[in-house]
């Protein structure tokens, strides 16, 4: 069974940039999260748990890369070691197992689940490249980790202060044949831009979540041509880009 | 060991703990984590005559000690609920309470006709009080006339017990409750969500796409206790207490206020394991209070008026 309640404690919180930090937790029991799957993480003093996709997960150790965007993430950024936190998961469907050439396209903190993918590709049957986009050089995160995973990594910045100037979809489409498979995670415009550019495109979607495990119906995404809706937490968060409307 | 059985409209419940509509879906995901032996009955997500996608945009928001939701009655429609979704609930030796909602008395009537044709459940909960649809929400539970109109259309369609789920923000909830009783309701569910709103101050915009949503969770508990107290005083039919329950203590308090059973919504959506915890804690708490049968505490507070 997947949807498990885990007790955990904070091992460390470390800043990566001025707004992004890593949160490393130790759980009471081993947990196995597939790349792209997520965990619901308790925010002390808040009612709803928040969804985050880990960058790594080994045995009882689980690490997230988190951007401070509001009240909840602000609190997580200030946690002291040993703070107990409730975790729930692993939840949802992650990136599928694919064969052949693969391109990872991430924007901002959206590179996080792609690092989990990159780290599990030792025996992959084709070339793998990563295009990671940020606003500026000071925002770049996890570059060494992607390289250590053996993935040829291209950094893109919107202001050109590091690497390719422009967004990572433009860089990837310029350098990678369209017959490859693409995994993408990041802001909605990035996901829209990558849809249709490669033979198969899988996108990881975000939504405000109530439960995270399929009962509250908060996390709606529409299927194309009025074919109804799906739940991001249960049917995703990773979807074949052709199966969902990217608004 | 204390006796946790209770009774609702002639149905024996092995536990006073029920799911709240919309907070446990139709059971598929829920029973992967919750032991059905902790429950007295399962209340389904409200079904409507036609399938609904629900509202667009952000549909939940955080609040101090609670949450807002504006799901907008997303559900697969009564036909599919009856044909497909109830499967997950049957065979568990657990009474099933089918929640239905509509946009007119005729829609409630159509839902009941379809449900009667399928069968496979024990009781109805009429959600007359969803705050998240239409301009002002389903307001049928706002006035005695609204209650009378709907009950006159549906009461004759079924012999199954009918629970009416009340709206908390009304001028005189005791009057609404009495009207429902007079029109043939077998029990009342008190109450649906309150209403609330949050604003994203960084963007100066409402957090939720629909601005206003249903407010629930521990923050509403005292208001729910008050409403159950007022309603149970006004009627002789059983009242199911709902709103903010998150502990065994809350269950005891709600039952002392007059509830024959309780529903747990937001707290279970946050952490479904609370059903097991509350069930365990309840036995210990009743022992401490020297209560042998939980039924004995129902409405205890009224006997001290
Ligand atoms: C499957 C999944 C995986 C995710 N993985 C990561 C991750 O690895 N790292 C990371 O930093 N973030 C991730 N997120 C986004 C993260 O959940 C939100 O940023 C977080 O919940 C915001 O909480 P808050 O209380 O700080 O924000 P709030 O104060 O509630 O809101 C601040 C701002 O963030 C927006 N926001 C709030 N919740 C979400 C949400 N769930 N999704 C998108 N936007 C939101 C609000 O609209 C608002 O503009 C993920 C989201 C999902 C659905
Ligand atoms: C996400 C969510 C969805 C809900 N959907 C319904 C619904 O479909 N029908 C209904 O009658 N009540 C619905 N409710 C209201 C609950 O059943 C319950 O009355 C209310 O949340 C108060 O209880 P609580 O504080 O324990 O959550 C919903 C509540 C939430 C939080
Ligand atoms: S967040 Fe509750 S159903 Fe997806």
Ligand whose nearest atom lies closest to the CA of A205: 1
Which pLDDT score, from 0 to 100, does residue B133 have? 62
Say if A238 is an interface residue toward chain B (CB within 8 Å). Answer: no
Residue B207 lies in a domain: no
Give the domain extent around B175.
6-54+72-193+217-303
CATH number at residue B233: 3.20.20.70
Q: Which fold has domain A5-91?
A: Elongation Factor Tu (Ef-tu); domain 3 (2.40.30)
Contact B30 A211 (CB under 8 A): no
- CA end-to-end span of chain B, whole Å? 30
Cα A127 → chain centroid: 21
Q: What distance, in Å, lies between the first and last C-alpha atoms of chain A? A: 33
Total length of chain B: 305
pLDDT for residue A2:
82
Ligand 3 neighbourhood includes A217 CB (under 6 angstroms): yes
Q: Is B200 within the bounds of a domain?
A: no
| Residues B265, B20 contacting (CB under 8 angstroms) | yes
Would residue B212 count as lying in a domain?
no
Contacts (Cβ under 8 Å, ≥6 apart) of B174: B230, B231, B233, B234
* CA B138 – CA B3 distance, rounded (Å): 38
Please state the ipTM of this predicted complex.
Answer: 0.92
According to the model, what pLDDT value does residue B141 have? 73
Counted domains in chain B: 1
At residue A199's C-alpha, the angle toward residues A193 and A200, to 5°, is 75
Q: Do B53 and A220 touch (CB under 8 A)?
A: yes
Alpha helices in B38-143 (DSSP H): 78-83, 105-118
Using only C-alpha atoms, chain B has a radius of gyration, in whole angstroms, of 18
Domain ranges of chain A: 5-91, 102-204
User: Which residue is it, tokens 């001028």?
Assistant: B171
Domain assignment present for residue B31? The answer is yes
Q: What is d(CA A35, CA A112) in angstroms, rounded to the nearest whole number?
A: 10
- Ranges of residues in chain A with a pLDDT under 50 are none
| Of B162, B179, B182, B161, residue with least CA distance to B171 | B179
Q: Which of B130, B183, B190, B191 is catalytic?
A: B130
Residue B270 CA to residue B69 CA, distance in Å, equals 13
- Could you tell me if residue A169 is left (phi over 0), alpha (psi between -120 and 50 degrees) or otherwise beta? alpha
Of B30, B53, B67, which has the smallest distance from its Cβ to A48's Cβ?
B67
Q: Are B165 and B176 in contact (CB under 8 A)?
A: no
What letter does residue A197 receive in the DSSP assignment?
A: T
Q: What is the DSSP string of B246-295?
A: -SHHHHHHHHHTT-SEEEE-HHHHH-TTHHHHHHHHHHHHHHHTT-SBGG
Cα separation of A200 and A177, whole Å? 12
pLDDT confidence of residue B305: 58
> Which pLDDT value is given to residue B135?
47
Q: What tens digit of pLDDT does each residue of A23-54 get?
A: 999 999 999 999 999 999 999 999 999 999 99
Q: What pLDDT was estimated at residue B136?
A: 46
Contacts of B53 in chain A (CB under 8 A): 220, 222, 228-229
* B130 catalytic residue (yes or no): yes
User: pLDDT at position A1, please?
Assistant: 52
- Provide the phi-psi class of B166: left if phi over 0, else alpha when psi is between -120 and 50, else beta: beta
Chain A interface disruption, residue of B21, B66, B216, B271, most A CBs within 10 A: B271
Mutate to test the interface with B, among A42, A93, A216, A229 (most CBs of B within 10 A): A216
For residue B132, the model assigns a pLDDT of 61
Instruction: Give a yes or no: residue B203 inside a domain.
Output: no
pTM, two decimal places: 0.95
A208 touching B (Cβ < 8 Å):
yes
Q: Report the separation in Å between the CA atom of A210 and the middle of ligand 3, taken as the mean of its atom positions.
A: 5
Domain A102-204 has CATH 3.40.50.80: yes
Mean pLDDT of chain B: 94
pLDDT tens for B180-205 read 999 999 999 999 999 999 999 989 99
Domains A5-91 and A102-204 alike in fold: no
Chain B residue numbers touching A5 (CB-CB < 8 A):
33, 271, 273
Is B206 inside any structural domain? no
* Distance of CA A153 from the midpoint of ligand 1 (Å): 26
Per-residue confidence band for B131, with pLDDT thresholds at 50, 70 and 90? low
Residues of A in contact with B218 (CB under 8 A): 47
**pLDDT tens figures, B208-261:** 988 999 999 999 999 999 999 999 999 999 999 999 999 999 999 999 999 999
């Amino acid at each position: 069974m997947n949807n498990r309640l885990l007790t955990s404690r904070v091992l460390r919180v470390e800043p990566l940039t001025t707004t992004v930090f890593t949160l490393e937790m130790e759980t009471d029991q081993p947990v196995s999260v597939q790349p792209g799957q997520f965990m619901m993480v308790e925010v002390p003093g808040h009612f709803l748990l928040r969804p985050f996709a880990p960058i790594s997960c080994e045995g009882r150790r689980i690490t997230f890369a988190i951007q401070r965007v509001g009240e909840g993430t602000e609190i997580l950024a200030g946690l002291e070691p040993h703070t107990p936190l409730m975790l729930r998961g692993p939840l949802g469907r992650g990136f599928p197992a694919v064969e052949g050439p693969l391109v990872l396209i991430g924007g901002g903190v959206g590179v996080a689940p792609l690092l989990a993918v990159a780290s599990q590709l030792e025996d992959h049957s084709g070339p793998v490249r990563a295009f990671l986009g940020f606003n500026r050089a000071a925002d770049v995160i996890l570059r060494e980790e992607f390289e250590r995973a053996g993935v040829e990594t291209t950094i893109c910045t919107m202001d050109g202060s590091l690497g390719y100037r422009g967004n990572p979809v433009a860089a990837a489409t310029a350098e990678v044949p369209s017959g490859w498979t693409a995994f993408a995670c990041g802001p909605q415009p990035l996901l829209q831009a990558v849809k249709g550019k490669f033979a198969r495109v899988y996108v990881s979607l975000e939504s405000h979540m109530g439960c995270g495990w399929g009962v509250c119906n908060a996390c709606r995404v529409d299927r194309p041509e009025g074919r109804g809706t799906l739940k991001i937490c249960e049917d995703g968060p990773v979807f074949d880009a052709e199966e969902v409307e990217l608004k | 060991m204390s006796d946790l059985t209770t009774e609702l409209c002639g149905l024996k419940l092995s536990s006073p703990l029920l799911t709240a509509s919309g907070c446990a879906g139709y059971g598929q995901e829920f029973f992967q984590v919750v032991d059905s032996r902790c429950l007295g009955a399962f209340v389904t997500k409200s079904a409507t005559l036609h399938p609904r996608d629900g509202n667009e945009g952000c549909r939940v928001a955080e609040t101090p000690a609670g949450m807002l939701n504006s799901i907008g009655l997303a559900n697969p429609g009564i036909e599919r609920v009856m044909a497909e979704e109830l499967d997950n609930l049957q065979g568990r030796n657990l009474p099933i309470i089918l929640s239905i909602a509509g946009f007119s008395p005729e829609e409630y009537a159509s839902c009941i006709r379809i449900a009667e044709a399928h069968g496979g459940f024990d009781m109805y909960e009429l959600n007359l009080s969803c705050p998240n649809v239409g301009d002002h929400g389903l307001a049928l539970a706002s006035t005695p006339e609204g209650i009378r109109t709907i009950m006159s259309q549906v009461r004759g369609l079924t012999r199954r017990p009918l629970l009416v789920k009340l709206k908390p923000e009304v001028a005189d909830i005791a009057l609404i409750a009495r009207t429902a009783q007079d029109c043939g309701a077998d029990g009342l569910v008190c109450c649906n969500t309150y209403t609330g709103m949050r604003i994203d101050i960084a963007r100066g915009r409402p957090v939720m796409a629909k601005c206003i949503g249903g407010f629930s969770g521990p923050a509403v508990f005292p208001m729910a206790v008050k409403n159950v107290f007022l309603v149970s005083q006004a009627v002789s039919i059983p009242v199911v207490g709902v709103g903010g329950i998150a502990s065994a203590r809350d269950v005891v308090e709600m039952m002392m206020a007059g509830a024959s059973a309780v529903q747990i919504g937001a707290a279970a959506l946050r952490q479904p394991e609370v059903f097991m915890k509350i069930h365990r804690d309840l036995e210990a708490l009743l022992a401490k209070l020297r209560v042998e049968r939980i039924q004995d505490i129902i409405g205890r507070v009224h006997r001290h008026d």
